[in-house]
Amino acid sequence: MPPDIIFEVGYDRTIFVRNAIKEVKETLVIAILLVVTIIFLFFREWTLALRPLIDIPVSLIGAFFIMYLMGFSINVLTLLAIVLATGLVVDDGIVVTENIFKKMEQGMNKHKAALEGSKEIYFAVIATSITLAIVFLPIIFLEGFVGRLFREFGIVLAGAVLISAFVSLSLTPVLNIYMAKKNPHKHSWFYKKTEPFFTGLENLYKTTLEAFMRVRWFAFLIILACIAVIYFIGMGLPSELAPMEDRNRVRTSITGPEGADFDFTDRVSYEITQQLLDSIPEKDVVLTFAPGFSGSGGSNAAFISMGLVNSSKRKRSQDEIAQQMNRMFRRYNNLRVFATQEQTISVGLGGRGANPVQFVLQNLNFEKLKEKIPIFMEEVRKNPTFLNPDINLKFNQPELQITIDRLKANELGVSVQDISTTLQLALSGRRFGYFIMNGKQYQVIAQVDRRDRDDPLDLKGFFVRNSRGDLIQLDNVVKMEEMANPPSILHFNRFKSAAVQAGLAPGKTIGDGIKEMEKIADQVLDESFETSLAGASRDFAESSSNTSFAFILALVLIFLVLAAQFESFIDPIIIIVTVPLALAGAMLSLWVFGQTINIFSQIGMIMLIGLVTKNGILIVEFANQKRRRGEQKIPAAVDASVARLRPILMTTLATTLGALPIALAFGSAGKSRVPLGIVIVGGMLFALVLTLYVVPALYSYLSSKKKASNLDTELAIADLKEAHE
The pLDDT score that the predictor gives to residue 225 is 93
Q: Identify the CATH number of the domain defined by range 397-485.
A: 3.30.2090.10
The pLDDT of 533-546, averaged and rounded, is 80
Q: What mean pLDDT comes out for the span 249-257?
A: 85
> Measured between alpha carbons, how far is 388 from 332 in angstroms, rounded to an integer?
12
572 versus 83: the higher-pLDDT residue is: 572
d(CA 160, CA 91): 12
Weakest mean pLDDT among 104-108, 152-156, 202-206, 443-447: 104-108
* Rounded mean pLDDT, 23-52: 78
Q: Is the pLDDT of residue 712 over 60?
A: no
CA atoms within 13 A on the CB side of 193: 5
Element (H, E) at 21: helix 14-43
Per-residue pLDDT band for 227 (boundaries 50, 70, 90) equals very high
Contact indicator for 353, 501 with CB cutoff of 8 Å: no
Question: Of 288, 383, 279, nearest to 331 (Cα)?
Answer: 279
CB neighbours of 192 closer than 8 A, spacing ≥ 6? none
Report the pLDDT value the prediction gives residue 350, as an integer from 0 to 100.
40
Read off the amino acid at residue 346.
S
pLDDT band at 226 (very low <50, low <70, confident <90, very high): very high
Kindly tell me if the per-residue pLDDT of 347 is higher than 60.
no
**Domain 248-341 CATH (choose: 3.30.70.1430, 3.30.930.10, 3.40.50.300, 3.30.300.30):** 3.30.70.1430
Task: Please name which of 631, 626, 612 lies closest in space to residue 681, comparing C-alpha atoms.
Answer: 612
Mean pLDDT of 2-20: 81
- Phi/psi at 242 (5° precision): -160, 150
The CA distance from 138 to 610, in Å, is: 12
Q: Has residue 185 got a pLDDT over 70?
A: no
| pLDDT above 90 for 535 | no
In this prediction, residues 552-578 reach a mean pLDDT of 87
pLDDT of residue 208: 92
Nearest to 294 by CA among 265, 332, 319, 322: 265
- Given a cut of 50, whether residue 596 has pLDDT beyond it is yes
Asked whether the predicted pLDDT for residue 58 surpasses 80, the reply is yes
Q: Write out pLDDT tens, residues 277-298.
A: 988 998 888 888 877 665 555 6
Q: Please, which residues bridge with residue 339 across strands?
A: 252
Tens-place pLDDT, residues 650-667: 888 888 888 888 888 755
Q: Is 60 exceeded by the pLDDT of residue 348?
A: no
Q: Which of 160-164, 173-177, 282-286, 587-591 has the highest mean pLDDT?
A: 587-591
CB 525 within 8 A of CB 531: yes
pLDDT of residue 679: 93
pLDDT of res. 589? 92
Residue 180 pLDDT greater than 80, yes or no: no
pLDDT at position 352:
46
Q: pLDDT tens, 135-162?
A: 887 877 776 666 777 788 888 888 888 8
Distance, in Å, from the CA atom of 687 to the CA atom of 609, rounded to the nearest integer, reads: 11
Q: Where are the domains of the chain?
A: 14-242+540-724, 248-341, 397-485
User: What one-character DSSP code corresponds to residue 597?
Assistant: B
What local confidence, expressed as pLDDT, does residue 725 receive?
A: 54
**Residue 292 Rama label (left phi>0; alpha psi -120 to 50; beta):** left
The whole-angstrom separation of Cα 53 and Cα 39 is 11
Burial (Cβ within 10 Å: 0-12, 13-18, ≥19) of residue 248: buried
Which residue type is seen at 692?
L
Q: What is the tens place of the pLDDT at every residue in 305-322?
A: 888 888 778 888 888 898
CA–CA separation, 128 and 610 (whole Å)? 8
pLDDT confidence band for 543 (50 / 70 / 90): confident
How far apart CA 128 and CA 63 sit, in angstroms, is 18
- The whole-number pLDDT of residue 584 equals 93
Phi (first) and psi of residue 434, to 5 degrees: -130, 155
Give the model's pLDDT for residue 57. 84
H or E stretch covering 204? helix 189-213
**Which range has the top average pLDDT, 127-136, 182-191, 580-589, 700-709?**
580-589
Contact 558, 638 (CB under 8 A): no
- The percentage of the chain sitting over the pLDDT mark of 70, rounded to a whole number, equals 92
CATH architecture of 14-242+540-724: Up-down Bundle (1.20)
Q: Please report which helix (H) or strand (E) contains residue 430, including its range.
A: strand 430-437
- In three-state secondary structure terms, 391 is strand
How high does pLDDT run on average in the chain? Answer: 82
Residue 53 has pLDDT above 80, yes or no: no
